[in-house]
Every structure is written in C-alpha cells, then in structure tokens.
Amino acid sequence: MRQENMRRLISVASLVILALVFGFTSNGFFTATNILSILRECAITGIIAIGVSFVIITAGIDLSTGAIVGFVSMLCANLLYNYALPAGLVMFISVLAGTVCGVLNGFVVTKLRVPEFIATLSTQYLFRSLVFVFAIREMGVITNKKITDPGILIMGGSVNGVYLVTITFFALAVIGQVILKKTKLGTYIYATGANRKSADLSGINTDNVRWAVFIITGFLCGIASIFEIGRIGSATTDLGTGLEFEVIAAVVIGGCAFSGGRGDIFGTAVGAIFMAVLQNGILKYNLPTAAQLIIKGVVIVAMIVFDSVYNQYMQKRIHQKASEEAQAAGGEA
C-alpha cells in the first residue's frame, strides 16, 4: 500500500509542477475561468477513461471508444432533431446504445475469442459506419444541424460556474474507484489482468470480468456522448475521431500498465487532468501547431518512461530486500 501511495504522490506532484510551469510562463493560466474550463475539457476524456482503465487493468485495450461516442452523439442529435423526442428519453436511449456497443465488444472478445486490439479495431469501423446511418440529412445531403432542445443543452451548463460534466466526471471517478477497491468485481479485474490463469484456477469467471469491463466502457461512452451534444449543440460525422487515443494516453499517464493488473481510477483522473492542463497550457504559448504536437508527444513519452523507470526501481528494491534477508540468514546460520 505504501508503494501505491508513493506512486500517487508522484503523479499528483508532476501534475502540480506542470501547472506551475504554465502558471509562471503564460498569462491567464491561474484564473478561475481557466481552471474551470480545464476541468471541463478533461471531463469527457476522463469519463471514458474510467471504463478504459478497467479494460487496461484486465490487460485488454479498447480502440472503439471514439467511434462509440461518434455514433451515440449522432443518434442522440438525430432523435432530437428529426423526431423531437423528449430529452430524457433520448438520453436514456443514448446511454443504452453506448452500453449495447460495449456488450458487442465484449461478445467479440470473450465469445468469438478475438484479441481485444483486433476486436475493437474492427468494431470501431462498424460504429463509425453507424454514424453515417444516423447522420441528419437534408435533401439527401448530410447536414450539420443545431440542436435547440433545452433539456439536452442543460447538460452543457454549469452550477455556480462548475460545469455539470465536471461534476459527473468526479462523481463517476469516485464510484469507479470504489468499484475497483471495495467490490468483488474490482478485485477480479485486478486478478484477471495480473494473472489470468491463476484467477481462473481460483474459480473466477475471467471471461465475464472481461465482458463486464467492456460493457462499463460502452455505458460511460454513452454518458460522455450526452455531454458532448449538450456542449456543442450539434453532431458532426467526425465527432470523437482520435478520442480513443486521448483516453488511452490519460489512462497510461495515470499509471495503468498495458501488461495489466496495475493502476487505479485516482491515477486515471490525474492523467485526464494532466492531459487537459497540457493542452490548455500549450495553447496559451501561441505556438505553431507543429510545436504544440511535439511538446504533447514528448511530455507523454517522458511520463511513460518515468513510470517504467520508477517501476524498475521499485522492483530492484524488492530484490535487494530479498537478497539482504538471504544474506542475513547466511550470517546467522
């Protein structure tokens, strides 16, 4: 546990340092408006990242989240614009649609036995195609229409300046952390990722666990889509493109290992905020796009390298401890 707390402290510290760097080198970083806006920017990525953290802790991957958000957002916009359904019903359908996408992902992975990477790479195309099926058309041409339903636009709003999406993100993150640390499912998620054979031998149905994390991710994509429409007030066909990688970056920066069994939602939340701070801060420099992308790439790699160096260091310390004990034993014998 101590090691985990140490790791947490370090990731929060690196976030604070990054924020301080931007605070001192650019104008208008440490203003209430800007901070609230950062917390809004990180929220969509963060909500999805909670689910993807689960998936990555089981040693899986989900490349389809961006496409799910694209599809569900378009579905949501379509139902509101073309059918003028009540906002509450549309939101329900949206979350349901996202969840069904997750069910499908889990089915392909656990029942058809397709590795996660390939499975979600493929379903991504399916979900992206659904975007075009549900796209709003005028005279047969896809048209970007403003959504005016006040019910959905509330989702883009704020309470005392704090955006609803931010509040939802934090609430979901807390729930996610509780699931991971306090429930059977959470324990099984770690066990599945760290040592699947052994988890199977302990009587855990690891296929169900892997399916469950995809369903949770789909569900969260559905929720994220509602906030996306609430904020933008329209849906384009390329909405959510590349989002899956933002999400994965946040999860990995937050300390989840691709090899599985490691990480938590606290880390992921820090990772999502880290990404948003980085994005926001770089923009304030007024740098050319190329320079912005380079900085972003370098910082992400640096974070990951740090993480692996740190893990190796901890591993070495454990070995040292073991051989010291062995030596102490030799001395006494």
Partner 1 sequence: MPALLEMKEIEKSFNGSPVLKKVNFSVEPGEVHALMGENGAGKSTLIKILTGIYPKDGGQIYWNGEPVSVEHRKDAASLGIGVIYQELSLIPTLTVMQNVMLGKEQSKFGFVNARKMKQKVAGLIEKYGFHVRADEVVETLTIAQRQTVEILKALSEESRLIIMDEPTASLSAKESDALFGIIEQLRRDGVSVIYISHRLEEVYRLSDRLTVLRDGVTEAVLAKEQIIPADVVRLMIGKELSEATASNNLRTSDAPVRLKVGNLCKKGVFHDISFEIHKGEIVGFAGLVGAGRTEVMRCIYGADPYDSGTVEFEGKPLAKQITKNIANGFGFVPEDRRNQGFTPLLSIEKNVALTNYDTLAAGGFVKAAAEKKLGVEMVGRLAIKPGDSQIPVGNLSGGNQQKAVLAKWLSRGLKLLIIDEPTAGIDIGAKDEIYKILENLAENGTSVIMVSSDLQELLRVSQRIVVMRKGEIFTEFASGRITQEDVLMAESGILTSGAKGGAPQGEAGTVAKEGGTNG
**Given the complex with partner 1, which of 31 and 183 has the nearer CB atom?**
183
Q: Is 218 helix (H, G, I), strand (E, B) or coil?
A: helix
Q: Is 267 helix (H, G, I), strand (E, B) or coil?
A: helix
What is the Cα 166 distance to its own chain's centre? 14
Count CB atoms within 10 A of the CB of residue 223.
26
Q: Locate tokens 């390298």: which residue?
A: 305
Choose one: 42-50, 166-174, 182-190, 238-246; the region binding partner 1 (CB under 8 A).
182-190
**Given the complex with partner 1, which of 164 and 172 has the nearer CB atom?**
172
* Count of all residues that appear for the chain in the document: 333
CB of 259 to partner 1, least distance (A): 10
Helical pair 32-57 and 243-253, crossing angle rounded to 10 deg: 80
- 10 is an interface residue for partner 1 by CB under 8 A: no
- 32 is an interface residue for partner 1 by CB under 8 A: no
C-alpha 188/C-alpha 185 separation (Å) is 5
- Which residues in 230-289 contact partner 1 (CB under 8 A)? 261-262
CB of 169 to partner 1, least distance (A): 23
Q: Is 46:268 a contact under the CB 8 Å cutoff? A: yes
Q: Locate tokens 């990555």: which residue?
A: 56
C-alpha 153/C-alpha 87 separation (Å) is 9
Q: How far is CA 172 from CA 61, 87, 314, in A?
A: 20, 22, 31
Q: Is 311:292 a contact under the CB 8 Å cutoff? A: no
C-alpha 283/C-alpha 23 separation (Å) is 13
The values of phi and psi at residue 162, to 5°, are -90, 125
Q: Is 138 helix (H, G, I), strand (E, B) or coil?
A: strand
CB of 261 to partner 1, least distance (A): 4
| Site size with partner 1, rule: CB under 8 A | 33
Q: Which residue in the set 31, 143, 148, 323 belongs to the binding site for partner 1 (CB under 8 A)?
A: 323
- 137 is an interface residue for partner 1 by CB under 8 A: no
**Given the complex with partner 1, which of 213 and 229 has the nearer CB atom?**
213
- Which residues in 52-111 contact partner 1 (CB under 8 A)? none
Choose one: 196-204, 212-220, 227-235, 302-310; the region binding partner 1 (CB under 8 A).
196-204
Choose one: 77-85, 99-107, 188-196, 290-298; the region binding partner 1 (CB under 8 A).
188-196
What letter would DSSP give residue 155? G
**Given the complex with partner 1, which of 25 and 312 has the nearer CB atom?**
312
Choose one: 40-48, 141-149, 165-173, 185-193; the region binding partner 1 (CB under 8 A).
185-193
- 325 is an interface residue for partner 1 by CB under 8 A: yes
CB of 303 to partner 1, least distance (A): 20
The values of phi and psi at residue 158, to 5°, are -140, 165
- 204 is an interface residue for partner 1 by CB under 8 A: yes
Q: Which residue in the set 132, 182, 245, 302 belongs to the binding site for partner 1 (CB under 8 A)?
A: 182
Q: Which residue in the set 28, 140, 150, 203 belongs to the binding site for partner 1 (CB under 8 A)?
A: 203
CB of 321 to partner 1, least distance (A): 7
Q: Is 288 helix (H, G, I), strand (E, B) or coil?
A: coil
Q: Which residues bind partner 1 (CB under 8 A)?
A: 1, 3-4, 182-185, 187, 190-191, 194-195, 197-199, 201-204, 261-262, 318, 321-323, 325-330, 332-333
